[in-house]
Amino acid sequence: MSMNSESQPIRYPSLESLLRQKGFPLKGIYKYQDAAQIFDASVRTIQQYVRDGKLRCRDLPARGRFLSEDLEAFLRDSRRKDDDKHGR
């Protein structure tokens, strides 16, 4: 299993890699604005992903809507269909 700089197992490889590239910390709970920053999208786009069922949303304290596992699943499931056909 991969390890991060603090010798902790990486639980969310795609999310943690993306966060490292952007200089953002891994958090427990994310808001719509956080997800928009992470994915370089508007809040409205993130809301549309939720409406379309592409991104799981939760009812968490302090206006939190997403857990790390939700963002990791979104990244994992966001692979283009034609990438699978071509073995990418």
40-68 exposure pattern, b = at least 16 Cβ within 10 A, e = fewer: eeeeeebbebbeeeebbbeeeeeebbbbb
- The pLDDT-based confidence of 1 (bands split at 50, 70, 90) is very low
**pLDDT digits 0-9 by tens, 2-31:** 555 556 677 999 999 999 999 999 998 999
Which domains are present in the chain? 13-79 (1.10.1660)
Q: Does residue 85 register a pLDDT over 70?
A: no
What pLDDT, on the 0 to 100 scale, is given for residue 45? 98
Residue 79 has pLDDT above 90, yes or no: no
pTM over 0.75: yes
